[in-house]
Chain A
Amino acid sequence: MKRLTIAAAAAAFAWMGFAGAAHAEWPERAVTIIVPWSAGGGTDATARAVAAELQKRLGQPFNVVNRTGGGGLVGHITIANAPNDGYTLGVITIETTMYAAQGIPGAEPENFTLIGRFNADPIAVNVRADAPYSTVAELIDAVKANPGAIKASGANTGGLSHLAWAGLLNQLDVDPSASPWIASAGSAPAMQQLAADAIQVVATSPAEARALVEAGEAKTLALLSGERSPVYPDLPTTDEIFSIKWSPLPFRGLAGPADLPAETTATLAAQLKEITEDPEFNKFMDGRGFSVAYQNSADFTKTVSDSRTGLVESMKVLGLAK
């Protein structure tokens, strides 16, 4: 009996010792990762891959929770409003730079601790495979020649895809209303509309257009980017074709609420860097057509602030800002 008591006491001490040691190190319990977009989409898929790697490396569960709605707004605000103890993190997207200009506060870059970027894929211009234009220049000429006839889609009105397409037209001195925007719930329904021959252009990332491109139903004409993508080296960019500067680059990055503890941010940033160098992770991203584009906290913060300046300016020109 006595021996049993001693054993129990020893076990209790061991457990307390373990708990005490663990207390110094984040994470000592499960971490929640909030994804503001629906399960199955690109943000969700990449976030789950990052979460699985973090779980493997840090030894605690990293649970992905989809908090969707309101064009990503609900999830982003949930991340920003979470307690800043490091146990609620999230994956944020470029829409955080646009909400404030649309008149909705609470999910601006300042509301987050930006830990690091892991992916950035430019928007591409996609058309039907049997479309009469084989280059983006011919497409733009067709828009000019026949205002209102070429309908484009890819996201909600005022979403990034819309801004990217309207901004391109604006850069080329074409009135954006010459190619009316059809509001859709995302790139998948827009691609369906394209395949059904109801619309003519879809502005979305090449990864999201890929299945239909490979099926011979659609073709990708060009990337809206400053430089060619390593994943799609043959795709020309609109910057090189038209000698303009217009690259609304959507990003996916790990973030937490503002003022996360510095050690937590440092641990996460170091792990994220290692993950983006991991061959398994790269194989996964490559397999789905996502590029791996790591940026540390400082660079990521600068990228976010730069794209915010550019996007808000374009939103004002296009009448999409309040």
Chain B
Amino acid sequence: MTIDAFIGALGIVFQPAVLIAILGGALYGLFIGAIPGLTATMATALLVPLTFYMDPIPAIAIIVSTTAMAITAGDIPGALMRIPGTPASAAYVEESYSMTLKGRAETALSIGIFFSAIGGLVGALVLMISGPILARIALKFSSFEFFWLALLGLMTSALVSAKDPARGFISLLLGILISTVGLDVTSGQPRFTFGSIELMGGISFIPTMIGMFALAEVLRGFSSSASFPPAFNTARIRPFRGMGKLLMRYPLSLLRGASLGTAIGALPGVGGDVSAWIAYGVSRRFSRTPEKFGTGHEEGLIEATSSNNAGLSAAWIPALVFGIPGDAVTAIAVGVLFMKGLNPGPRLFLENPTMPMAIIMTFFVANLLLFPLGWLAIKGSRHILAVPRNLIVPVILICCILGSFAINNTMFGVGIMLIAGIVGYILESNGFPIAPVILGLVLGPILERNFIMSMQIADGNLLGFFERPIAAGLGIVVCSVALVPLLSRVIRHLPISTRSEK
């Protein structure tokens, strides 16, 4: 990237039309993200007709700022009402909600927004400096590598639910089992569909997630063991208070989260959803106080939420450099780029470097905008917790129904949500954690598809998973993560005499 391109890009971005598009997108994203069930993908798809009438850079800018804000705002209902806005925020919704239950909703929200913005800025910086190089590495990833990555993601469930790993594992298997419903991608065979057309399309994780977290919480509110979040104890709340101190205390968490998010987000098709889970797991693994996790502890929250937004920026790396979208949002954005005659690819960087530079710059502006808008959102969210319980419960229910209906515009989604809510309530009242179910549901299809693809390519030879260099490296990491704790336990239980003989 040359200085000329940089200055040219500055000239393109700092124009009223672009800045208004960014601001408008951010406000719209804030609104969509804060409503549970309405996703960043949906927000982007709704924007497409509008972009027909816009110039290329404002068109992309509005998509960028909408998604950055929507993903960040998805943490708000998670922290306040235990409704994760996105599958990514499901990784740490327990953590932020327990913080709210302790009366620290302000801190939970501040972490969500402050560290999201910083993570997003880091991701944008990486995109600017090393986008093309990272994309080239990401292009080396085939189904073999994706398989190991998905497996690594699944293994974090043991870390997320360390209170009772056995129950966590059962929850995970339940999630994977649910993910097998529908037409299987390999042979087109219907599985567990009982002749229902709707079930052939599979059980999507958005209504399941809303049901298991939010509806289950509502159901629990009617039981005797109900616990409610206390109202903000101060009339004057100061968003972002203490964030600087947290930044000083956990700089490594931020750095690790943001770099994990960037690395995993840059891989097409896996993206930000997985990175938040892995970041949360890694944070717990390397924490000096792992026992505090799950009780409203800042550390994991910082790491996961920063990786979330870093991954969002990084998903644009393969999209811009090779036209391979990393997720549904970038898929739509790639379409818009093509429509505007800005065909993504290395040629875009060579022939017209100001354009990709200007696109990346909109990331900076959008993420910087998170600070003031997030500040307002936190100020406003005080009113949500101030609403009496008997009013907020119907509102949560409406949100649940609206969100699960909106995903496909069918009542089927609402039905899934209701069933998932009851199942989630039963699971939780018997000590089974919910987060691993969602993890299994999200990663199950990725794992299965890549396993089958790989087996077909390797003609059924399992050693194929170790034949490619990156795959072998990832495979060794996964195997050692799984085996080392087991071996160390075995060695500890061996009689001293046999140990000394070795």
Contacts and interface: CB of A to CB of B under 8 A. Distances in A.
Contacts of B185: 156, 183-185
Contact of B197 (A73, A184, A192): A73
A76 to B, nearest CB: 10
B200 A191 contact: no
A172 interface: no
Q: Which of the four size classes fits the interface of chain A? A: 35 or more
B328 A198 contact: no
A192 B45 contact: no
Contacts of A158: 187-188
B142 A198 contact: yes
A210 interface: yes
B201 A196 contact: no
A102 B142 contact: no
Q: Which of the four size classes fits the interface of chain B? A: 35 or more
B182 A39 contact: no
A67 interface: yes
B182 A70 contact: yes
Contact of B323 (A41, A45, A156, A212): A212
B453 to A, nearest CB: 5
Contacts of B331: 38-41, 188
B183 A73 contact: yes
A211 to B, nearest CB: 2
B41 interface: yes
B142 A183 contact: no
Nearest to A73: B200
A148 interface: yes
A48 B49 contact: yes
A181 B188 CA distance: 14
A116 B453 CA distance: 37
Contacts of A188: 268-269, 324-325, 331
B408 A67 contact: yes
A182 B457 CA distance: 7
A119 B27 CA distance: 37
Contacts of B144: 198
B198 A74 contact: yes
B323 A211 contact: yes
B332 A65 contact: no
A59 interface: no
Contact of B324 (A69, A183, A211): A211
Given A39-B41, A73-B200, A74-B201, A192 B453 contact: no
Contacts of A193: 142-143, 453, 457
Interface stretch (A23-31, A213-221, A233-241): A213-221
B322 A71 contact: no
Interface in A62-78: 64-71, 73-74, 77-78
A183 B141 CA distance: 17
Nearest to A200: B457
B346 interface: yes
Given A157-B187, A183-B456, A196-B139, 5 more contacts: A45-B335, A49-B339, A52-B49, A182-B457, A183-B453
Interface of A: 32, 38-41, 44-45, 48-49, 51-52, 55, 64-71, 73-74, 77-78, 102, 106, 148, 151, 153, 156-158, 180-185, 188-189, 191-193, 195-199, 210-212, 214-217, 284, 287-289
5 contacts: A38-B328, A183-B452, A183-B456, A185-B185, A198-B143
- Shortest 10 CB-CB contacts between residues of A and residues of B: A69-B201, A211-B323, A40-B331, A198-B142, A196-B142, A74-B201, A70-B200, A70-B183, A183-B186, A288-B338
